[in-house]
Structure 1
Amino acid sequence: MPLLDTPVRLGVQLQPQHAPYSSFRDAVLRLEEMGVDILFNWDHFFPLSGDPDGLHFESWTMLAAWAEQTERVEFGALVNCNSYRNPDLQADMARTIDHISAKDGVGRFIFATGSGWFARDYEEYGYEFGTAGSRLDDLAAGLERIEARWQKLNPAPTRDIPVMIGGAGEQKTLRLVARHADIWHSYVRGTDLSHKLEVIERWADREQRDTSNLVISNELHQRDEAHADGLYDAGVRLFTIGFQGPDWDYDLIRSWLRWRDTKNA
């Protein structure tokens, strides 16, 4: 661990704020044509930057539209909030979007999830905020229910839907990564990744789960190629970058696509 013989992939997170929906529709089309590997949004109800009451759209309904609109890219939320929806419902929604996106019988949806953190979402939409620990406990129980529900749904998902878990807490989050994840996403610096991966391995031993195929994901926002090279050397193979509209900086994405292609040459 980590999985080093997989190609480098670039994921772009379209931040679903401060732009009309038509702008997102156009950006999705253009980014897929440019060769981006994965498209993400986020699962919040209000902007995270800029005008706190500015334009904003909901994650899952947007993802269902992307499932129909796109042909090649994988996609998901970076990340879904477990607190906002019944876990069995999340499983069913994921399965349905998986089928909507299927090309040649195989879906492209990634179930990326986390425990939640943005208090305003909870307070204004009537969810219990709890504590960081209680939200992680809820995520642990939710993942068990989600995976069990996938085994019961008719029709079943088109594939084993990849599970992506975000976060770096060593006592709870990384244990969930070891137990459930196909992809681990964090903002951990390259110099600290080896320690975190050792923690995941220790938890994997306790969970009796093989994590040799775990894909390591990290963030490129406000980072240069030297930093990305360090992450690559530490084992990162999925690189994500936040993307803000409506004045999309496509040259930024082109530069990272060139870097990706150099790594994969």
Structure 2
Amino acid sequence: MFQACVYQEPSSMYITAMSVMILLTTACLALLEFIGKHLQYSKFWNVGSKKSHQILLSSKTGMLLLYTPAFLAGLASFWIFPDGGTRFMMVQFAVTFHFLKRDLEVLFLHKFSGFMVLDSAIIISVSYFTAAASMIYLQYLTLGFQEPLVDLKYLGLLLFLLGICGNFYHHCLLSKLREKNEKGYKIPRGGLFSIVICPHYLFETIIFLGISLISQTPFSYSTALGVALYLAARSYATRKWYLSKFENFPKNVKSLVPYVF
């Protein structure tokens, strides 16, 4: 069944290596989050850090560093690969729009506190750039090969749009938690925050699932699985953080998946 949902793409050590690499990288980052060795941004920017030996960026600058290279990779692909057909253009659009949206949220929506450690910013930025550029390039390599027997691209587009809307909505709720010049954290309210602490991560997982179904390549599936693993670990760490900081944090609120995890 799975083979019916995957492109019959060219046999290549490069393609296999990239698919394995993205999955192993994100799985390792997820494991580190689970055991408390966090990438240092958002609530965890100063967890276990030695500030005198690390370069700190403002959260806004750090977040732009995270997403802009991946957005530029997607944007450049329209010039490098102008004629790839419907599925290829859908992958280009989805990848580019997702990272453009994140940049626009950084510039005009989010209210930041704290800093981001440069090392963490570089790790995430390189990971996003590699995933975005590779997803598009490896999709380009499938042109001319037999399409999957089961066409999932329109289901993928639907999931992508659902993820984009849900992610944006919950980012809006987060942005309204703080009044002007406030820096502290509060327990988020509204939307799915009543049942999971990281609904924005849930919808970001859906975004990458949608992109993988539009693409239907082994690399895109590996990327979606890797993102899901990392965001599950990050949301688990976030829930632990809220439990440690707020005595009134509701114990029935899960990390990522409503009523399950």
Which TM-score band applies after superposition, normalised by the shorter structure? under 0.3
Which structure's residues are more often strand, by fraction?
1
Q: TM-score, normalised by structure 2?
A: 0.25
Larger Cα Rg: Structure 1 or Structure 2? 2
**TM-score, normalised via structure 1 length:** 0.25
